A and B are shown apart, each in its own frame.
Chain A
Amino acid sequence: MNLTLFLLFPLATAIAILLASGLKQIRVIALIGSLLQLALSGKLLLAYYEQRAAGNQSQMLFEYVQKWYGPLNLQYHIGVDGISIAMILLTAFVVVAGILVSWETEHLSKEFFFLLVLLSLGAYGFFISLDVFTMFFFLEVAVIPKFLLIGIWGSGKKEYSAMKLALMLMGGSALILVGMLGIYFSSKTAGGAHSFDLLELAKMNIPLARQMLFFPFAFIGFGIFTAIFPFHTWVPDGHASAPTAASMFLAGISMKLGGYGCLRVATYLMPDAAHAYSWVIILLATIAIIYGAFATMMQTDLKYINAYSSVSHCGFVLLGIGMLTQTSINGAVMQMVSHGLMTALFFAAIGMVYSRTHTRMVAQLGGLLKIMPFISTVFVIAGLCSLGLPGFSGFAAEMTVFMGSWQNPDKWYRLATILACASIVVTAVYILRAAGKSIMGPLGNDSYKDLTDAKWYEKSAAILLIFGILVVGMAPFWLINLIQPGTEFIMNKLAVVATGL
């Protein structure tokens, strides 16, 4: 299976969008492109199972190496394991859904879909890369589309939010840059050259002092992308101001880039420092979880509610990574997938409500279930998944994180786990309150009576995401089995503690 197709498809779609004219052509091209990509992801999954069934035990499959910038020893090195496949599947789902919900974007539609596709290109490239340089390249490719999407098509204080998001993510990139250069210059391959190659780097041991110095840069850098406390402030503003599809991409895909990077680059390549700093990660993650949950309680805008709850939920990802047990890391990856699907669904539902009622204020909504039963159901499903009802993906993922966290015997870590668990109660409060107020009860406004329910494209987007949520929720072991071989390699590296060199 040629992984470069994951770059060529979006690229071809983007070029086709540029050549097309009129909203009708453009959206059809974008949809076909994203559906092809979804099919390709499915094929990748099947090919992966085939390889594993055939007894292929290597860490990465479908590897391909091409020299890029030879004198600096940079490579275009791609390959996937179960973790990346899970992320690629998530991306493909969210992209299709995102394009479907933007079906009626009239304003500058060509640019809009072009930027969406470009954003997805960055995400795919990031997840298939096995070279830190290419990863960084694709990570940054996705920044500019976000800035423009929010700034041009957004609502509210969009310029401010776009600028804040772009600058904070750029700050994250700057920290990653320092971290990765530190890794690069600490490495020495057999030939004596430095390397950015993830697998090469995993084979050598970076000196302890170097790890202690550069781990914070890399981890916090990627952490900013996934809303690590106290650098989470771009999330609420960015998500709230973004157009629906961009919110979905931001929360569903973009924040996952950070979690994936924390795991794959920072933790995997600098295991000693990961052990040494794990208490800091846990502390920050616990603060994010609790603070995020309480901050959500105070919100009145639906998008802010979901954005702050994203801060809280992404805290679980970092908590799982910080606990450094296999189950917890599995849980972190699952939480990324689950949160990606769930939050995309939530934003889609909010977008559907907003496009009809033109308000996102909980206080002004009400009684929507009578008028738009489909959208309201979607809304409730997203909410229930968010609060971790069994049967939905949120429960499976959070449960795995908690189980994994409890395996870490340190009493302070257990305290953090308990606190994180307790936050679920708060989640239940704000979700039930928001859903209850806006969906049940009397109509918030008489003019709502004439509103229509979801159109076919909105329905398909929602059904697609709900399908994903249910698969993960009902058959979590399917996902765990997929990511397990990947996390095992990370655990093996983490087990070799304090080699020092």
Chain B
Amino acid sequence: MLNEYFFVLKAEWMLIAIIFLLLFLKVGTSDWKNETLLYGINILLLVNLLVGFFSNLEGGLFSGMFHNDALLILEKNILNIGVYLVSLIAYPWLKKHEHVLEFYILLLTTLLGMFFMISSGNLLLFYLGLEMSTIPLAAIANFDLDKRKSSEAAMKMIISSAFSSALLLFGVSLIYGTTGTLVFTEITPLLNGSPLQLLAFILLLAGFSFKMSVVPFHLWTADVYEGAPVAVTAYLSVISKSAILFIFLQVLYVVFKPMSSEWYFMLFFLSILTILLGNLFAMRQTNLKRFLAFSSIAQVGFILLGLSAGSKTGMASVIYFLLIYMFSNLAAFGVIGLVSASTGKESIDDFKGFYKTNPFLSWILAIALFSLAGVPPTAGFFGKFFLIMAGAERGNYVWVIFAALNMIISFYYYLKVVKAIFMDPNDQPIEKLTVPALPKLAFVICLTGMVLTGILSWIYEYIHTLSNF
């Protein structure tokens, strides 16, 4: 029994241990240099990541409130990889920061919240995990302490997430009102699509849409992404989005399975809107972070398309896409973060002529953008192809054609950045930057991920076998 408490919760225990260790370090004053501290923490995170692959135990705890299975273990490992990468690319920024320990404590707390959220079997624990993963995030969005925009981002984020939580809670209360239970497995058989339940679902969906930044609930995204430090933006757009999508998959595919024809049409409209608006706004951006914010909104629209399949392939394609999206987006944010930390430049125009001075970084950024655009041989191609393929499963070709045509628009704005990097002349390009070892490691991992995740089909096949639907 004790064994179970330890191993089923292993990923969570690991994080708790690291968080406490960092807390003790903080309390027991030490005058370690930032570099040493960062190297130490990154090694800890690497250990955490590696341990995640071994001696995992599946099972339920606390009478089904918390459960762990092979798919969830995989999802947690994906999140662990992501956090490790974020930590690596945050190095140039954190090196000069005076609150490194606090940053990691807050960051890992949000990760812990996400772990609880995706493992939850009960709306209560789900809500708890969700809040635990959001509130500390708002705090670290404010971590560029001397920038006003950063505080603005934190404020916007906390208000909008409080609002979405309220919607979500209202939905939960209606579910409880109509079914009399909060346990996932007990809710499902009691769903009959009555108007009240439909309203409950719409409220839940709205709450989720806020967190995933689905149009029309996306308004906070660009401002927060722009204002927050690059590492936090990367974390927000990749890790927390993936986590919320993981639980969204469970909620749609398992809990609300009886209402699948209802949610299908809701997803259809949300996805069309999201892709279109995300793309249209992304075209007009001049700040790279805002640009990636809107492009990531459009990506979510594609994810909804894959999600709509409601089948095993749909589930697998979404998780697979998120894995690839993580590598690509983090690589892009890594380059932007490095440039921003050393020169403070973030606009697309500043990147003109970037290739002349920084060929390595340019290629990383270009490949990341190609992967986001879905161009082979990068993995992004496979990810997007399988999403669209899953979407076509139900035969809704209007949606498929719409998505395919929108890929051209997205291709345009990604290429615009590539054009700036490689082709546009610039008298004062960004000077040659030295890439520290840790971000370099992150780039190598991301590059390997962006190339190999696609060509090696067994990764997808593995996810497919785990997709327990």
Q: Would you call B397 and A178 a contact (CB within 8 A)? A: yes
Q: How large is the interface on A (under 10, 10 to 19, 20 to 34, 35 or more residues)?
A: 35 or more
Evaluate whether A140 and B419 lie within 8 angstroms (CB atoms) in the complex, with A72-B389, A170-B408 already known: no
Cα distance A279–B325 in the bound complex, in angstroms: 44
A185 at the interface (CB under 8 A from B): yes
What residues of B have a CB within 8 angstroms of the CB of A185 in the complex? Answer: 392-393, 395
Q: Would you call A177 and B388 a contact (CB within 8 A)? A: yes
Q: Would you call B422 and A171 a contact (CB within 8 A)? A: no
Cα distance A70–B424 in the bound complex, in angstroms: 43
Q: Would you call B377 and A141 a contact (CB within 8 A)? A: yes
Q: Would you call B388 and A163 a contact (CB within 8 A)? A: no
Q: Would you call A141 and B388 a contact (CB within 8 A)? A: no
Across the two chains, which residue of chain A brings its CB closest to B454?
Answer: A137
Q: Would you call B316 and A159 a contact (CB within 8 A)? A: no
Q: Would you call A175 and B397 a contact (CB within 8 A)? A: no
What residues of B have a CB within 8 angstroms of the CB of A192 in the complex? Answer: none
What does the 1/0 interface line of B297-338 toward A look like (CB < 8 Å)? 000000000000000110010000000000000000000000
Across the two chains, which residue of chain B brings its CB closest to A217?
Answer: B401
What residues of A have a CB within 8 angstroms of the CB of B128 in the complex? Answer: none
Q: Would you call A140 and B375 a contact (CB within 8 A)? A: yes
Question: For residues 373 through 409 of chain B, which have their beta carbon under 8 Å from a beta carbon of chain A?
Answer: 375-377, 381, 385-386, 388-389, 392-393, 395, 397, 400-401, 404-405, 407-408
| Most chain B beta-carbon contacts within 10 A, residue among A140, A143, A158, A178 | A178
Across the two chains, which residue of chain B brings its CB closest to A68?
Answer: B457
Cα distance A70–B457 in the bound complex, in angstroms: 8
Rounded to whole Å, the gap between the CB of B157 and the closest CB of chain A is 35
Cα distance A185–B392 in the bound complex, in angstroms: 8
Question: For residues 48 through 99 of chain A, which have their beta carbon under 8 Å from a beta carbon of chain B?
Answer: 67-72, 74
Contact partner of A140 (CB less than 8 A), chosen from B376, B386, B393, is B376
Cα distance A158–B389 in the bound complex, in angstroms: 35
Cα distance A143–B375 in the bound complex, in angstroms: 8
What residues of A have a CB within 8 angstroms of the CB of B441 in the complex? Answer: none
Across the two chains, which residue of chain B brings its CB closest to A214?
Answer: B397
Main secondary structure of the interface of A (DSSP, over half): helix
What residues of A have a CB within 8 angstroms of the CB of B376 in the complex? Answer: 137-138, 140-141
Question: For residues 40 through 86 of chain B, which have their beta carbon under 8 Å from a beta carbon of chain A?
Answer: none
What does the 1/0 interface line of B453-465 toward A look like (CB < 8 Å)? 0000100110011
Cα distance A332–B174 in the bound complex, in angstroms: 66
Question: For residues 120 through 164 of chain A, which have their beta carbon under 8 Å from a beta carbon of chain B?
Answer: 133, 137-138, 140-141, 143-144, 147-148, 151-152, 158-159, 162-163
Cα distance A391–B395 in the bound complex, in angstroms: 52
Contact partner of B400 (CB less than 8 A), chosen from A72, A148, A178, is A178
Q: Would you call B464 and A71 a contact (CB within 8 A)? A: yes
What residues of B have a CB within 8 angstroms of the CB of A281 in the complex? Answer: none
A-B contact count (CB 8 A): 86
A15 at the interface (CB under 8 A from B): no
Q: Would you call B386 and A72 a contact (CB within 8 A)? A: yes
A291 at the interface (CB under 8 A from B): no
What residues of A have a CB within 8 angstroms of the CB of B217 in the complex? Answer: none
Main secondary structure of the interface of B (DSSP, over half): helix
Across the two chains, which residue of chain B brings its CB closest to A175?
Answer: B404
Q: Would you call B401 and A151 a contact (CB within 8 A)? A: no
A184 at the interface (CB under 8 A from B): yes
What residues of A have a CB within 8 angstroms of the CB of B265 in the complex? Answer: none
Q: Would you call B412 and A178 a contact (CB within 8 A)? A: no
Q: Would you call B401 and A163 a contact (CB within 8 A)? A: no
Across the two chains, which residue of chain A brings its CB closest to B377?
Answer: A141
A167 at the interface (CB under 8 A from B): yes
B16 at the interface (CB under 8 A from A): no
Across the two chains, which residue of chain B brings its CB closest to A154?
Answer: B423
Evaluate whether A163 and B412 lie within 8 angstroms (CB atoms) in the complex, with A69-B460, A137-B381, A174-B407 already known: yes
Q: Would you call A178 and B404 a contact (CB within 8 A)? A: yes
A182 at the interface (CB under 8 A from B): yes
Q: Would you call B423 and A151 a contact (CB within 8 A)? A: yes
Cα distance A138–B381 in the bound complex, in angstroms: 11
A181 at the interface (CB under 8 A from B): yes
Q: Please list the residues of chain B having a beta carbon within 8 angstroms of any beta carbon in chain A.
A: 312-313, 316, 370, 375-377, 381, 385-386, 388-389, 392-393, 395, 397, 400-401, 404-405, 407-408, 411-412, 415-416, 418-419, 422-424, 457, 460-461, 464-465
6 CB contacts below 8 A, A to B, read: A72-B313, A74-B457, A148-B418, A174-B408, A175-B404, A181-B400
5 cross-chain pairs, A with B, having the tightest CB-CB distances, nearest first: A174-B404, A71-B464, A151-B423, A69-B457, A181-B392
Q: Please list the residues of chain A having a beta carbon within 8 angstroms of any beta carbon in chain B.
A: 67-72, 74, 133, 137-138, 140-141, 143-144, 147-148, 151-152, 158-159, 162-163, 166-167, 170-171, 174-175, 177-178, 181-182, 184-185, 213
16 new A-B contacts, CB < 8 A, other than A141-B376, A181-B389, A181-B400, are A69-B461, A71-B313, A71-B460, A74-B457, A148-B418, A151-B419, A152-B422, A158-B423, A166-B415, A177-B388, A177-B404, A177-B407, A178-B400, A178-B404, A184-B392, A185-B393
